[in-house]
């Protein structure tokens, strides 16, 4: 194996050496253009300078002027001096000798009865959910309520309502009858 005695030629033409100056100039031009665009945008969006004084308005008499806000956060409401009434309400130094009669509390309002249509009552909650689902497929919205009987058993009631008057229940009763469901009227107080 013999080697070529000819020396290999290097690149025909030398490439010019790169200088970092062109990169620095590009960065500088980009920064200048960015600053000009930012200044233009700031001027465009804040044409009304918030640091300029507002034009002078005619002065109102002191009695007609609204209260001036005290220094604080912008948008705070002005502080209004409160007029305390407890000095007038308290007895005037008689040591509590004169007692005013206590006002009679009004009678509590009578509890409003709510009317429900009860479609079923089950000890097994899954049966109550099944009935509720069958009612939903018929287009009737019902709720399952958990309750306890007098002998301590837990029952799950499927009810529709509440209704204010018995007349309000008539359309719902007819829809239940069309769907093959029977319901009883139940009165409940809240």
CATH at residue 162? 3.30.70.1070
Q: Which has the minimum average pLDDT: 88-97, 106-115, 159-168, 181-190?
A: 88-97
Tokens read off for 160 = 């529709």
Whole domain around residue 183: which residue ranges? 114-188
- Whether residue 120 contacts residue 128, with contact meaning beta carbons closer than 8 Å, is answered with yes
Tell whether 7 is covered by a domain.
no
Q: Coil, strand or helix: which one is 179? A: coil
Q: How many Cβ atoms from other residues are within 10 Å of residue 138's Cβ?
A: 14
Does residue 124 fall inside a structural domain? yes
The first and second tokens of residue 96, run together, are 């509590």
118-135 per-position pLDDT tens digit: 889 889 899 999 999 998
Residue 18 within any structural domain of the chain: no
Establish if 85 belongs to a structural domain: no
Q: Which residue, chain included where needed, has tokens 């300029």?
A: 52
Q: Is the peptide bond before 113 cis (omega within 30 degrees of 0)?
A: no
Question: In the chain, how many domains are there?
Answer: 1
Asked whether the whole model's pTM tops 0.85, one would answer: no
Residue 57 lies in a domain: no
Res 14: pLDDT: 56
Structure tokens at 78: 């002005």
In residues, how long is the chain?
Answer: 190
């Amino acid at each position: 194996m013999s080697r070529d005695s000819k020396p290999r030629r290097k690149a025909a033409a030398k490439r010019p050496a790169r200088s970092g100056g062109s990169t620095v100039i590009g960065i500088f031009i980009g920064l200048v253009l960015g600053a000009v665009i930012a200044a233009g945008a700031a001027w465009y969006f804040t044409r009304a300078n918030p640091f300029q004084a507002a034009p002078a308005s005619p002065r109102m008499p002191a009695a007609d002027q609204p209260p001036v806000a005290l220094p604080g956060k912008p948008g705070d409401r002005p502080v209004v001096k409160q007029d305390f009434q407890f000095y007038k309400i308290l007895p005037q130094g008689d040591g509590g000798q004169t007692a005013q009669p206590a006002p009679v509390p009004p009678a509590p309002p009578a509890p409003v009865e709510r009317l429900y249509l009860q479609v079923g009552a089950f000890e097994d909650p899954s049966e109550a959910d099944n009935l509720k689902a069958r009612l939903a497929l018929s287009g009737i919205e019902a709720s399952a309520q958990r309750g306890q009987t007098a002998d301590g058993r837990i029952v799950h009631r499927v009810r529709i309502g509440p209704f204010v008057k018995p007349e309000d229940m008539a359309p719902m009763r007819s829809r239940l009858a069309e769907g093959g469901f029977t319901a009883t009227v139940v009165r409940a107080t809240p």
